[in-house]
Amino acid sequence: MQPFIRFATKDDAPAIIGLIQGLANFEKASDQVVITADDLVRDGFGTNPKFWCYVAEIPGEIETEIVGMALFYPRYSTWKGPTIHLEDLMVQEEFRGQGVGTALYRSVLTFARERKVRRVNWEVLDWNTPAIEFYVKSGAEILKHWHVVSMDDQALEAYLES
């Protein structure tokens, strides 16, 4: 069954949150999600969206069902110029291996090519072997000499108050 890929709308926010929570559960970080559907609507579907999102739909018994999503946003590289960061690509477990993730991935990369960005970046957990193999097979390079650095709001506040 071929998924239908389309840009998300604000009405998709609850389904997107469900997928985000599913991804957090898969990554063994279920308690880390603090964003809400209202946050997604505010940040992604107003006059100045902070991100774009594709959703993957398949026909259900009564209506279509959103079974995957790819959320991404613009960045700027001092070396390359315009780039895109793929924040999350998620497919419900029961629909993996059926081309849904590939269709979402190709949609993001097509979006990047149409906008002439020079690089697309994302992170993958070192234990997510199927994803790593998929990315490498597609021509992506896993940058082993770089470390992802992250500072959450509590650490930011503590540092600035020190």
Confidence of residue 151 (pLDDT cuts 50, 70, 90): very high
pLDDT digits (tens, 9 = 90+) for 75-119: 999 999 999 999 999 999 999 999 999 999 999 999 999 999 999
Catalytic residue list contains 135: yes
CA pair distance 42, 113, nearest whole angstrom: 27
Q: Which residues pair with 58 in a beta bridge?
A: 65
CA pair distance 2, 76, nearest whole angstrom: 34
Q: Among the options 73, 76, 105, 135, which is catalytic?
A: 135
- Average pLDDT (61-79) is 93
Helices marked H in the chain — which ranges?
13-26, 37-44, 100-114, 129-137, 153-161
CA pair distance 63, 131, nearest whole angstrom: 29
> What domains are defined for the chain?
4-161 (3.40.630.30)
